[in-house]
């Protein structure tokens, strides 16, 4: 679908505009955002504290002991002007731990409390990469972010997923009295040469209206190659034609996002 790729490129586009940007990887797996920025090797799997620690009751004691160092140890710099709190294997069991240790809204506002208290003063923009499924970690992410972005490819399965997300967020808003909105749906991997892609774009415009990003991101082999080499396409010295179009699209969409929120 392109969630991790989108978040990484949005982050760099916003950093270029002069914003202090922090990315938080809650998607777990193989630390995809750290890979995207080529810093996997500098992250020790034994790192403590790590992103899963901030959700735990022990976090307060960690801060008492380490002070500001606790935050500094979580944050890694990248070569592309954005900072990153990488994923950690502690996230694997976090969903179940949140379920057993907390109840009511406390189950969902852990991340929000962490960001409000420790991160908001340091950064202009925080972008969170979330698991592609609804669990307690995802709820913490959307609760904290309130503004949700999602890529959507040209296809009926993908369109259904975007609709389902819109529905889930609405339910969360209504059920918990917390404003959460699907702020931007970003058509991704769009090949404008094909009739089919153009038809899906028209359909998305009709259906999602203002939530649709102003510029679709084209399919670009450069994106795949660059990210496998630990860079975004913003770092390429000689971007291809499609990569240039994608860079323009990320820039316009990032600017539109700033205006919307
Ligand atoms: N516009 C694009 N053009 C070409 N390739 C792309 C584009 N966007 C994403 N990709 C590629 O698609 C693949 C999946 O992207 P990505 O990892 O961002 O998806 P994801 O939604 O985060 O997936 P997961 O659910 O596994 O976390 C990657 O190989 C990425 O390089
Ligand atoms: Mg991902």
With a cut of 80, say whether residue 29 has pLDDT above it: no
Reported as a single tens digit per residue, the pLDDT across 147-187 is: 999 999 999 999 999 999 999 999 989 988 899 999 999 99
Centre of ligand 1 to C-alpha 5, Å, is 6
State residue 179's pLDDT score: 93
Tokens of 65: 């002991």
Q: Ligand 1 pocket: which of 132, 224, 226 to mutate (most atoms <8 Å of CB)?
A: 224
State residue 165's pLDDT score: 93
Half-sphere exposure at residue 135, Cβ-oriented, CA atoms within 13 angstroms:
17
As a whole number of angstroms, the distance between CA 260 and CA 254 comes to 10
Reported as a single tens digit per residue, the pLDDT across 33-85 is: 999 999 999 999 999 999 999 999 999 999 999 999 999 999 999 999 999 99
Query: 170: which residues sit within 8 A by CB, 6+ positions away?
Result: none
Centre of ligand 2 to C-alpha 131, Å, is 7
Mean pLDDT of the chain: 96
As a whole number of angstroms, the distance between CA 172 and CA 44 comes to 35
Pairing of strands 76-77, 83-85: antiparallel
Pocket around ligand 1 at a 6 A CB cut-off: 1-5, 27, 32, 132, 188-189, 217, 219-220, 223-224, 227, 246
Mean pLDDT of 9-15: 98
Mean pLDDT of 222-232: 98
Q: Ligand 1 pocket: which of 1, 2, 250 to mutate (most atoms <8 Å of CB)?
A: 2
Enter the pTM of the model. 0.97
Q: Where are the domains of the chain?
A: 3-260
Share of the chain above pLDDT 70, in %: 100
With a cut of 90, say whether residue 30 has pLDDT above it: no
| Domain 3-260 CATH superfamily | P-loop containing nucleotide triphosphate hydrolases (3.40.50.300)
Centre of ligand 2 to C-alpha 147, Å, is 18
State residue 244's pLDDT score: 98
Centre of ligand 2 to C-alpha 5, Å, is 7
Task: Report which bound ligand comes closest to the CA of 219.
Answer: 1
Query: 43: which residues sit within 8 A by CB, 6+ positions away?
Result: 31, 34, 76, 86
State residue 104's pLDDT score: 86
State residue 172's pLDDT score: 87
With a cut of 90, say whether residue 11 has pLDDT above it: yes
């Amino acid at each position: 679908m392109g969630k991790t790729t989108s978040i990484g490129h949005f982050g760099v586009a916003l950093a270029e505009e002069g914003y202090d940007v922090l990315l938080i990887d809650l998607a777990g797996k193989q630390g995809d955002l750290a890979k995207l920025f080529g810093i996997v090797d500098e992250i020790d799997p034994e790192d403590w504290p790590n992103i899963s620690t901030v959700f735990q009751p022990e976090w307060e004691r960690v801060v008492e002991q380490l002070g500001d160092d606790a935050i500094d140890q979580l944050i890694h710099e990248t070569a592309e002007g954005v900072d990153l709190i990488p994923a950690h294997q502690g996230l694997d069991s976090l969903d179940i731990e949140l379920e057993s240790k907390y109840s009511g809204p406390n189950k969902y506002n852990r991340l929000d409390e962490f960001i409000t208290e420790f991160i908001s003063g340091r950064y202009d923009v925080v972008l969170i990469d979330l698991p592609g499924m609804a669990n307690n970690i995802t709820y913490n992410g959307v609760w904290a972010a309130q503004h949700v972005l999602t890529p959507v490819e040209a296809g009926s399965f993908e369109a259904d997923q975007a609709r389902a997300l819109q529905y889930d967020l609405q339910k969360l808003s209504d059920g918990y009295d917390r404003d959460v909105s699907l702020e931007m749906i970003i058509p991704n991997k769009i090949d404008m040469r094909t009739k089919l892609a153009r038809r899906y774009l028209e359909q998305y415009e009709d259906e999602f209206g203002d939530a649709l990003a102003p510029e679709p991101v084209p399919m670009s082999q450069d994106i795949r190659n660059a990210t496998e080499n630990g860079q975004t396409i913003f770092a390429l010295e000689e971007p291809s034609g499609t990569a240039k179009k994608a860079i323009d699209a990320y820039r316009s969409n990032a600017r539109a996002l700033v205006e919307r929120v």
